[in-house]
Amino acid sequence: MTIKIGNAPCSWGVEFADDPRNPSWLTVLDQCRDAGYKGIELGPVGFMPEDPAELGDALAERDLELIGGVVFRPFHDPAAWDDVKDGSVRTCEALKAHGARHLVLIDSISPRRAPTAGRPAEAEQMSASEWTGYCAKIRDIARMGTEEYGLITAIHPHAGGFMDFEDEVERLLNEIDESLLKICLDTGHSLYADFDPLAFMDRHMERISYMHFKDIDPEVRARTVANRTDFYEACGDGIFCNLGKGSVDFPAVKAKLEAAGFEGWCTVEQDCDPEKAQSPLDDARENRSFLHSIGFEVAA
């Protein structure tokens, strides 16, 4: 059994491809390698080159493997379907070109849900017709990724969107067949949403295809929820701290993965503000060292 550890451009503050604050894609690749990782996610499609030869050469020069990619688009917005579909197709094309396996779907932040991130009892719910359309779009993209591109497609609960809280995740899993849609469990976002990732793993380990390793500072989370702080402002405030310094019990996560015979990638994602991040390279190194210290086999 082998669990491999990668990293992602969001650990360098890259959330949107066209954000002028982003570091260059070459800087992200260089620093991911320098921090000791062998795998990296694509980041938002368009951040890294979509020319397979250009990106492929850059990955090979740094001995990096492309792990997967995230479609972070407004699945909740019926008027945004063209944008969702465009991001999904382009991401699938990039992953297939580089032999990556993991297509991760995230419903992006909605103004209707952002104020109640971390507050499941207060969150606005979709109407019945909205939910039906929402599930249909997720199912369509999951089917495309799985059947047309041969990828492993997973839903990723995320703060501030309409796929955030535990009951919503459970409902979606009941409505979309497991053959089409797996789960990418993010240890930090689950605690942000006030549900226990360990208990969730106990119930759904057979459906978890991929993990995002993220830790969360309990004091910053408490302030964020109390003040209804914007998600990106919370990232700038350091809500997602270095691994091992927050609320996530990573040794227990590791034990559950090993007991289930989990194989493949787990990816560090330390969402941060690109302007406020002090040293993403140092954080990436520290996170790798922490995972190594609790027994994960992480490249030096």
- What is the per-residue pLDDT across 281-298, written as a single tens digit (0 to 9) for each? 999 999 999 999 999 977
Gap between the Cα atoms of 188 and 203, Å rounded: 18
- What is the per-residue pLDDT across 51-81, written as a single tens digit (0 to 9) for each? 999 999 999 999 999 999 999 999 999 999 9
More confident residue, 291 or 271: 291
Taking residues 78-94, what's their average pLDDT? Answer: 98
Residue at token pair 């066209």:
18
- What is the per-residue pLDDT across 164-180, written as a single tens digit (0 to 9) for each? 999 999 999 999 999 99
| Nearest-5° Cα angle at 273, 55 to 29 | 20
CA distances from residue 112 to 148, 233, 251 in whole angstroms, order as listed: 33, 17, 36
Burial 264-298 (b: 16+ CB within 10 A, else e): bbbbbbbbbbbeebeebbebbbbbbbbbeeeebeb
Lowest mean pLDDT among 68-77, 90-99, 116-125, 145-154: 116-125
- What is the per-residue pLDDT across 117-141, written as a single tens digit (0 to 9) for each? 999 999 999 999 999 999 999 999 9
**Number of residues that make up the chain:** 300
Residue 300 has pLDDT above 60, yes or no: no
Confidence of residue 260 (pLDDT cuts 50, 70, 90): very high
Q: Could you give the domains of the chain? A: 3-293 (3.20.20.150)
Q: Decide if 285 contacts 231 (C-beta within 8 A).
A: no
Output the average pLDDT for the chain: 95
- Per-residue pLDDT at 278: 73
Confidence of residue 299 (pLDDT cuts 50, 70, 90): low
Q: Which residues contact 110 (CB under 8 A, 6 or more apart)?
A: 74, 76, 77, 160, 161, 162
Phi-psi region of 54 (alpha: psi -120 to 50; beta: other; left: phi over 0): alpha
